[in-house]
Copies of this chain bind each other. A is one copy, B any other.
Amino acid sequence: MRFAIIGAVLLSGLFGSGAALLGQQKVQQAETPVEKWTGKTVMLIGAHADDDALAHGTLALLQAQGNQVYVVTLTTGNVGTQDPKLSRTQLAEIRRKEELAALAELGIPGDHYINLGYDDGMLEFEDRKAVVENLVRFIRKLRPDVLFAWDPGKNFQRWHKSDHRAAAYLSADAARAAMWRLLFEGQITQEGLKEYMIPEYLFYNDYDHDDENLWVDISSVEDKVINASSKYVSQYGPGWKNYNPNPGEAEVKEMKNAAKAHLRRKDGKPIEGFRYYRGFPDAIGK
């Protein structure tokens, strides 16, 4: 492949076909505000069944506006507990149930949740080519207009803890690979898929929001977001140390209060922030 910038510039200058897409690379601002998007296919890739919570408000908005939202999670989350009584199997099942319940609060149907089944905490040790190949398959199947992913970094590689780091880089690599007909070509010649280039990206982080350039007002779906949060009993609630599938009303209320208290706000409004990028996946770090 060529290097992206000169190629993009020359191509847009000369031959036009890519210009609409490539010309605006410098601005990196969504043409239409996210709040007005409709009819798009949206795909989020996370490592764990709750990484998507960093974008729940935006996903709920998009779903409500007539977009198709898919959540792809790489691991089963079968390690993340401090409750000594839970087994890997139980935890995997609990977290699937919690995720489906949370997505339901956002209006996202259960069959839009795809879990690739890797073991939690081991993602960085899986064969990277095999994981990328799996993600490329889903990108080529779903053909999303927008990808939400852990931010791999602007100019420099962002630090994340291991699973998130793996998820960030593998997502970026998969987005790039998916667009080339001659990469993972078996999917094309044998499975009827076609190469596909994702044109827009919203990258999320759990802290350090310095690189954000797009904020979504989630006031209208605040309740959905808080309700969704309260479904992750094994993760944010009392179940973290002592899992109870049916927490009492008081506990749920406390979870919701805490979730509400910790929503990020801008000008008094609850928001979610992202690094927005549009263009070739080759230049995702721009």
Q: Which residues of A contact B (CB under 8 A)?
A: 1-7, 9-11, 13-15, 17, 48, 50-51, 53-54, 75-81, 84, 87-93, 96, 115-122, 124-130, 132, 152-164, 172-173, 176-177, 180-187, 189-191, 206-208, 210, 229, 232, 235-238, 240-241, 254-255, 258-259, 261-262, 281-286
A102 to B199, CA, bound (A): 31
B128 A241 Cβ-Cβ under 8 A: no
A115 to B188, CA, bound (A): 11
A50-B2, A161-B281, A176-B162 known; A286+B207 contact, CB < 8 A: yes
A120 B1 Cβ-Cβ under 8 A: yes
Query: Which residue from chain B places its CB closest to the CB of A82 in the assembled complex?
Result: B181
B285 A78 Cβ-Cβ under 8 A: no
A252 to B152, CA, bound (A): 37
A201 to B124, CA, bound (A): 22
Chain B residues whose C-beta falls within 8 Å of the C-beta of A208 in the assembled complex: 155, 286
A14 B77 Cβ-Cβ under 8 A: no
A117 to chain B, nearest CB (A): 2
Query: Which residue from chain B places its CB closest to the CB of A53 in the assembled complex?
Result: B6
A180 to B254, CA, bound (A): 26
A161 B236 Cβ-Cβ under 8 A: no
